[in-house]
Amino acid sequence: MFKRLFFALAFVTVAFAAQAQFQIGLKAGVNVSNTRFSPEPLDFLRGKTDFHAGVFAVAPITERVAFQPELLYSRQGFRVGGSNLASVNLHYLQVPALLNFHVTDGLSVQAGPQVGYLADARVGVGNWFAISYGDAFQKWDASLVGGLQYELPGGLTLGGRYIHGLSNVNRNFDLVESFSFNDFVRMRNAGFQFSVGYKF
């Protein structure tokens, strides 16, 4: 389902851009991941700070509403233990499809869906080494995005958004007969993104 949604968002983006006047830009910034677990672990798994970067386009729909699709490379995940004993790094290609609602000159409220494809997952032990562990996680992820964006004179943009994961991203496997991993633990991506961009 998420794979179809990913390509549907990509098709809508290309089709809309072909019919509308639009601007393109580059952006990069910081991820503050706060992966949500159910049930909540007892102060054992912590958030992780990393980065994202990519391209975006802005196509006006009305005087106060615009469509902003993006293609981002985003690193997120979580840390195990307070002393950074180990970390899980999830490398995503993400396609947010956002509507910008212009509130005042330069300031917009953003909201929309996002689909992500897991390109790689690596588990690091301390600061020594990391191994690929992509088989432990689902390849596709769906989220809802909401935030603010401010455009400065000259095309510079500042943004902050919250990403709320909708799908369970850990891959299911059987522990023993009649019991699976997802019967005990479910994991959803969540966190904040802060970015700086430039529109050409």
pTM equals 0.82
What is the secondary structure of 128-187 as a DSSP string? TEEEE-GGGB-SEEEEEEEEEEEEPTTSEEEEEEEEEE-S--BPP-EEETTEEGGGT-EE
pLDDT value, residue 20: 57
Cα(151)–Cα(165) distance, rounded to whole angstroms? 27
pLDDT per residue over 135-166, tens digit each? 778 899 999 999 999 999 899 999 999 999 99
Looking at the predicted structure, is the pLDDT value of residue 64 above 70?
yes
List the one residue out of 38, 35, 63 whose CA is nearest residue 49: 35
pLDDT per residue over 49-61, tens digit each? 999 999 999 999 9
Cα(188)–Cα(196) distance, rounded to whole angstroms? 26
Compute the Cα dihedral for 172, 168, 31, 71 and give only its sign: positive
pLDDT (average), residues 185-196 = 90
List the one residue out of 167, 32, 43, 171 whose CA is nearest residue 113: 167
pLDDT value, residue 22: 82
What is the token pair recorded at 72? 């981002």
Confidence at 109, pLDDT banded by 50, 70, 90: very high
User: What residue ranges define each of the domains in the chain, with the CATH number in brackets?
Assistant: 2-199 (2.40.160.20)
- Over the range 82-103, which residues count as b (16 or more CB within 10 Å of their CB) and which as e? eeeeebbbbbbebbbbbebebe
Backbone phi and psi for residue 146, each to the nearest 5 degrees, phi listed first: -150, 140
pLDDT value, residue 41: 58
pLDDT per residue over 65-103, tens digit each? 999 999 999 999 888 766 567 788 899 999 999 999 999
pLDDT (average), residues 118-139 = 76
DSSP state of 40: P
What is the token pair recorded at 163? 């990403």
